[in-house]
Structure 1
Amino acid sequence: MSNPIGDPGHGHSPAAWAAVIIMLVAVSIGTLFFFLDVPAMVWASAVLLVVGLIVGWILSKAGYGVNGPKYAPKEH
C-alpha cells in the first residue's frame, strides 16, 4: 500500500536496529538462563532489555533515528 504523505520510516534506522538487536540478545539469553534456572542471570537479561530500549532512545535523540539528520534513508 502506498502512503501519499510519505514513508514514516517504520524503524529502518541505526537507532532501531541497535535497540532491537540488543533486546533480542537479552530475550535470548534470558530464555536460556530461565531454562537453566539461574535467576540472577534472568534478572540481568531483563536489565539488558531495558538498556537496549535506552540505547535506542539515546541514538534516536543523537540523530540516528528515522527523521534524524545523521540518518540517510536507502531506496528499496
Structure 2
Amino acid sequence: MAGSSHGHTPAAWTGVTIAFIGFCVSGAFMVMAQPAGFWAGMVVVVLGGVVGVIMRAMGLGQSKEDPHAEARAAAAKSQPVSVKS
C-alpha cells in the first residue's frame, strides 16, 4: 500500500485517532465493569468513522482518481523481459 498512499490523509488520521480513543475508553470501562462507560466509548468509535467520512466529503481525504493508473497501464502494455541464464 505504500505506493498508493492509502490512508495518508487528514481525514484518515483523524477518524482513526478518534476511533482508537473510543476503543481505549471502551476497554477501560469494560475492565471496570461499567456498561454505560463501555457504550459511551463505542459511541466515540462510531463518531470517529462519521468524522472521517465528513472530512473526506470536505476534500480532506484521498481523491477518487488513481495517481498511478497511467503508470500501471503503461506497465501492462509492455512485454515481459526474458532473462537468460
Which of the five TM-score ranges fits, normalised by the shorter chain? Answer: 0.7 to 0.9
- How many residues are matched? 64
Q: TM-score, normalised by structure 2?
A: 0.69
Pairing of 1:3-22 with structure 2 (within 5 A):
7-22=3-18
Q: TM-score, normalised by structure 1?
A: 0.77
More helix by share: 2
Runs of at least 5 residues in structure 2 that lack an aligned partner in the other structure: 65-85
Distance 2:58 2:14 in 1: 13
Pairing of 1:1-76 with structure 2 (within 5 A):
7-67=3-63
Measure how far apart 1:67 and its partner are.
1.5
Distance 1:16 1:9 in 2: 11
Percent of residue pairs identical: 36
Larger RCO (alpha carbons 8 Å, 6+ apart): 1
Runs of at least 5 residues in structure 1 that lack an aligned partner in the other structure: 69-76
For the pair shown, which has the larger CA radius of gyration, 1 or 2? 2
